[in-house]
């Protein structure tokens, strides 16, 4: 709700994309390690709930839970490709969720935003791919048997880079 008491509704396209990305992050972030069984579904539920209530804090909390599930999976020795996909999907879910709420607040539910949202989706997915793709390639082609903890460290750096790029966009 806004200060004037007017209910805003997040945009449907970006909301759907955010929920889909959160689902991908939740499934790929599951590693069978104790906490991931709780954190991944909680993260997806919080993203959905945050979009339902048009509350950025809840969406961010959901994405944080998804990111933590991925981190726990990585520390427990999860498969590197799944970790990279989970980090990228978490970033995409966060970005789409923020965009959905912003468009709903600024333009309202009746505005025609399809082209804007699809263009933004393409850019976001490209940024996520460019952000985590090289991390995975470095992990694959680094000499010697790198540990999964090395990949987790690289993913933390990639997440920080993606967040910084997102802030520059605004």
What are 4-53's pLDDT values in tens digits?
555 678 999 999 999 999 999 999 877 766 778 889 999 999 999 999 99
Query: What pLDDT was estimated at residue 92?
Result: 94
Q: What is the dihedral of CA 34, 37, 38, 41, to 10 degrees?
A: 160
pTM of the model: 0.81
> Which residues lie below 8 Å from residue 5, measured CB to CB, with a gap of 6+?
none
Percent of the chain with pLDDT over 90: 43
pLDDT at residue 1, rounded to an integer: 45
Confidence of residue 133 (pLDDT cuts 50, 70, 90): confident
Q: Which residue has the higher pLDDT, 165 or 24?
A: 24
Task: Give the integer Cα–Cα distance in Å for 124 and 92.
Answer: 7
Structure tokens at 22: 């959160």
Query: Which tokens is 94 given?
Result: 């966060």
Residue whose entry in the numeric block shows the structure tokens 């082609």: 141
pLDDT at 104 over 80: yes
Average pLDDT over residues 100-123: 89
Q: Which residues contact 167 (CB under 8 A, 6 or more apart)?
A: none
Alpha carbons 23 and 83: distance in angstroms, whole number: 14
Tell me which residue of 126, 17, 132 sits closest to 67, measured CA to CA: 132
Please state the φ and ψ torsions of residue 10, each to the nearest 5 degrees. Answer: -60, 150
Q: What share of the chain is helix, strand, coil (3-state, %, to 5)?
A: 80, 0, 20
């Amino acid at each position: 709700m806004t200060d004037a008491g007017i209910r805003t509704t997040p945009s449907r396209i970006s909301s759907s994309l955010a929920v889909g990305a959160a689902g991908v992050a939740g499934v790929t972030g599951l590693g069978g390690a104790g906490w991931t069984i709780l954190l991944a579904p909680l993260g997806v539920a919080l993203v959905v709930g945050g979009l339902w209530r048009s509350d950025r804090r809840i969406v961010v909390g959901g994405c944080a839970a998804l990111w933590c599930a991925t981190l726990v999976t990585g520390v427990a020795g999860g498969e590197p490709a799944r970790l990279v996909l989970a980090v990228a999907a978490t970033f995409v879910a966060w970005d789409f969720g923020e965009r959905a709420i912003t468009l709903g607040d600024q333009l309202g539910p009746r505005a025609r935003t399809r082209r804007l949202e699809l263009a933004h989706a393409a850019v976001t997915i490209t940024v996520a791919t460019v952000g985590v793709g090289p991390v995975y390639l470095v992990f694959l082609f680094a000499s010697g048997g790198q540990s999964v903890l090395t990949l987790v460290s690289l993913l933390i750096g990639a997440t920080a880079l993606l967040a910084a790029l997102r802030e520059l966009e605004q």
